[in-house]
Structure 1
Amino acid sequence: MCIFLNGAGIMILIYVDDLLIAGKSKNDCQTTADQLAQHFEIRAMGDVYEYLGIRIFRNREKRQIFMTQEAYATKILHKFGMQNLKPAAQPWKSDLTIPSTWTVHSDEQKSYIKQTGSLNYLSAGSRPDITQTINKLREANAGPSKQHLEALKHLWRYLSGCPALDIVLGGKYNPRDLQLHVFADASFASELGTRLSIGGQVVFLAGAPIYWKSKKHSLVFMRSTESEFCDLTLAGIPALSIAKLLRELGFHQSLPVVMFTDSLNAKATVLNPLNTARTRHIDTQYKWITDPTSKGYSKLEHVRTTSMVADGLTKPLLKEGHQNFVRMLCLQMRLW
């Protein structure tokens, strides 16, 4: 995918032969399209309805934009014969544990890879509620165990019960207020085999998640504070990049960009200019967050664990916890 910006606040997304123009007004977009038509053969399709498998609906009365992969989710449910499963309340089976080493079911590998690949595209496009689970399952692409196959089946059960959860931009939020809000969290030493921590980051714009990630850290940390501290860097880098992109498009981003953590110790570590002795063993890349924070580009705020949106990107949650995670992500079903 290629992204082009011009001085008029127009963004052009190009993926193979699909082109999407975004701007502050229809006139600006039409002018850009006319200019492109002078050099390339293009066919105008009108207001965007679908792009890269993501369908877009507008509720102009409430000033909301809904982004959904409902059609894609339904398609893959039928493709793999999972459409008639009994629905589950959360994507990970509560009593299931993946062993650190396992016996491979090689005869299931090809089908397993196809299924995790399809689900990963759904997760990356519009479904952060399944991101942590699918990342865990993809670790076994080289050869799944019985437990992985059981967890995959349970994920399909969850998806069959809610194929239509939409990302909703706008609504009660002021359309002129496009200030970013960033959440970062980490699950300390949660990988039993390696004792690596899992970090989760999510960036909100206009009340909706526009960036999310769940990934193992590359270092084994000795304290939970270290894992939370390092996760702030992993959240801060994309957040400041997105803020820069919005400014180039003409959408003001007041500094500092607010970042939320549920670790008071991690916050204190970032703000303490004399923390070099305690964090000397941490790789340089993870201490990046201290520089933009000290210069006023980013700001750390503390939230309670129950209000930490990124918590569901770091570990499996039980039914009530997952339902709260979906609510905090502001994922909704269209009622019109």
Structure 2
Amino acid sequence: MADGSLERYKARLVAKGYTQTYGIDYLETFAPIAKMNTVRILLSLAASYGWSMQQYDVKNAFLHGELDEEIYMEVPPGLEPGNKKVCKLQKSKQSLREHGGVTALLVYVDDIIVTGDDLIGREDLRKCLIQEFEVKDLGRLKFFLGIEVAHSKHGIFTSQQKYVVDLLTETGKLGCKPVDTPIEQNHRLCEATESVVINRESYQKLVGKLIYLSHTRPDIAYAVGVVSRFMHNPKEVHLQAAHRILHCLKGTVGKGILFKRGDKLTLEVYTDADYAGSIDDRRSTTGYCTFLGGNLVTWRSKKQNVVARSSAEAEFRAMALGVCELLWLKIILDDLKVKWEGPMKLYCDNKSAISIAHNPVQHD
């Protein structure tokens, strides 16, 4: 943008409720967004309790009330990464609270999902939305943020089939040969300083799309976590690993997550750790997955922050993260007024870590 047009563009953003917020580095500036975990939790509850899920679209997405939390948007066109800036949203839509039952309102920019067991409250909420905004009723939830939603007597099934097909087409892998696993067993991926350097932006774009795809494909979460470690300086060997994930997707285009109907609400987490699995720094990788009412709702695969001195320590750190996830889920359920009875269960296959957890004397 030349002749001061960039400055005028930024001035218009400020006038509309945006301010510029500085970060350490543009490519690494943290911009909080709504967690997809919350969507899966609502889907699991809706499947378990038989709640109907309605979707609405708001045409005027901004400038409706002050924000209490920090919301960020992408850098406007013309601002180069060297400027180290993101835009902070000062105003957004107002949400409503209903009383008498559970009425959950999930908002992502101009897309809204409403669910719960309070039919009167949901109808009152719908009328309030229509009164305050120009709202379009899209009916039963079928498509949300690139995720396809199918309803049946068995529950709610989510997938990203169209997203996968589009990704395979874009990368030229639509006719590739499928493989059974997204990453080689006992892989030795590392910085690979002697390998051929590739285009960083195209690699980051591919891995970013794979990260978003993992919202409904936990089977590729570990492989995507591994290839994402090298986004700052990708090499040919890393690109080949990312392409292997695409080959795996080719044979599993329609896979997704089924949120089954059930009459008993349980909360469980399974934890594990890959001891000293990183060749570059010998850090371990934590993995956990949580189940709400028997439905998989959250999962994570991430390298630990410190070097564990034993497999028991690596497993214990994974258990600690699993407990944190359970506590977060319980808070979400309390906010949704979902009555919780019974203990939260944590499963681990390391006897030493279990003994440490059972003995408070060893916690130091």
Unaligned 5+ runs, structure 1: 281-336
Q: Which residue of 1 aligns with 2:140?
A: 47
- Residues 104 and 143 of structure 1 are in contact (CA less than 8 Å); yes or no, is this contact kept in structure 2? no
On the 8 A contact 1:168/1:207 being kept in 2, the answer is no
2:102 aligned with 1:9: yes
CA deviation after TM superposition for structure 1 residue 24, in Å: 2.1
Q: Mark the CA change 1:94 to 1:237 in structure 2 (over 3 Å): closer, same or farther.
A: closer
Which structure 2 residues correspond to residues 60-71 of structure 1 after superposition, within 5 A?
Answer: 60=153, 62=154, 64-71=155-162
* Structure 1 CA distance for aligned equivalents of residues 186 and 174 of structure 2: 23
Match of 2:339?
Answer: 252
Gaps of 5+ in 2: 1-32, 39-94
Task: Provide closer, same or farther for how the CA distance between residues 151 and 198 of structure 1 changes in structure 2, counting only shifts above 3 A.
Answer: same
Which residue of structure 2 aligns with residue 134 of structure 1?
Answer: 224
Shift of 1:37: 2.2
Secondary structure of 2:132's match?
coil
Work out the percentage of aligned pairs sharing the same amino acid: 27
CA distances 1:202-234 after superposition (whole Å, capped 9, x unpaired): 111233211011101111111111111111111
Q: CA deviation at 1:27?
A: 4.8
CA contact (8 A) 1:137 1:148 kept: yes
Please give the secondary structure, in 1, of the residue aligned with 2:223: helix
CA distance in 2: counterparts of 1:17 and 1:105, whole angstroms: 43
Name the CA shift for 1:70/1:26 in 2 (closer, same or farther; >3 Å): farther
Does residue 266 of the first structure (1) align with residue 357 of the second (2)?
A: no
Task: Say if 1:226 and 1:95 are closer, same or farther in 2 by CA, change over 3 A.
Answer: closer
Q: Which has the larger radius of gyration?
A: 2
Task: For 2:287 and 2:98, locate their aligned partners in 1 and report how far apart those are by CA, in whole Å.
Answer: 33
Higher mean C-alpha displacement, 4-13 vs 30-39: 4-13
Offset from partner CA, 1:263-315 (integer Å, 9 cap, x none): 12111111211114xxx4xxxxxxxxxxxxxxxxxxxxxxxxxxxxxxxxxxx
Matched, 1:187 2:246: no
CA distance in 2, matches of 1:80, 1:143: 20
Matching residue of 1:286: none
Tell whether the 8 Å contact from 2:291 to 2:298 is kept in structure 1 after alignment. Answer: yes
Structure 2-normalised TM-score? 0.70
Counterpart residue type for residue 223 of structure 2: T
**How many angstroms does 1:104 deviate by?**
5.6
Q: How many residues align?
A: 271
Q: Structure 2 vs 1, CA of residues 273 and 6 (structure 1 numbering), >3 Å: closer, same or farther?
A: farther
The reply to whether residue 165 of structure 1 matches residue 252 of structure 2 is no
**1:57 corresponds to which letter in structure 2?**
A
C-alpha RMSD of matched pairs (Å): 2.0
Amino acid in the other structure paired with 1:56 = V
8 Å contact from structure 1 (residues 105, 143) kept in 2 = no
Q: 138, 141, 151: which is aligned to 1:58?
A: 151
SS of 1:38's partner is: helix
Normalising by the residue count of structure 1, what TM-score does the alignment of the two structures yield?
A: 0.75
- What's the counterpart of residue 190 of structure 2? 99
Aligned-residue offset at 1:26: 5.0
- The separation in 2 between residues aligned to 1:146 and 1:109, in whole angstroms, is 11
2:69 corresponds in structure 1 to none
SS in 1 for 2:314: helix
1:76 aligned onto 2:183? no
Distance change in 2, residues 1:50/1:70 (3 Å): same
Q: Give the alignment of 1:196-211 within 5 angstroms.
A: 196-211=283-298
- The alpha-carbon deviation at position 28 of structure 1 amounts to 4.0
Check conservation: 1:178, 1:252, Cα contact below 8 A: no
Q: RCO (CA 8 Å, sep 6+): is it higher in 1 or 2?
A: 1
Question: Distance in 2 between the 1:50 and 1:28 partners?
Answer: 24
- Asked whether 1:177 is paired with 2:267, we answer no
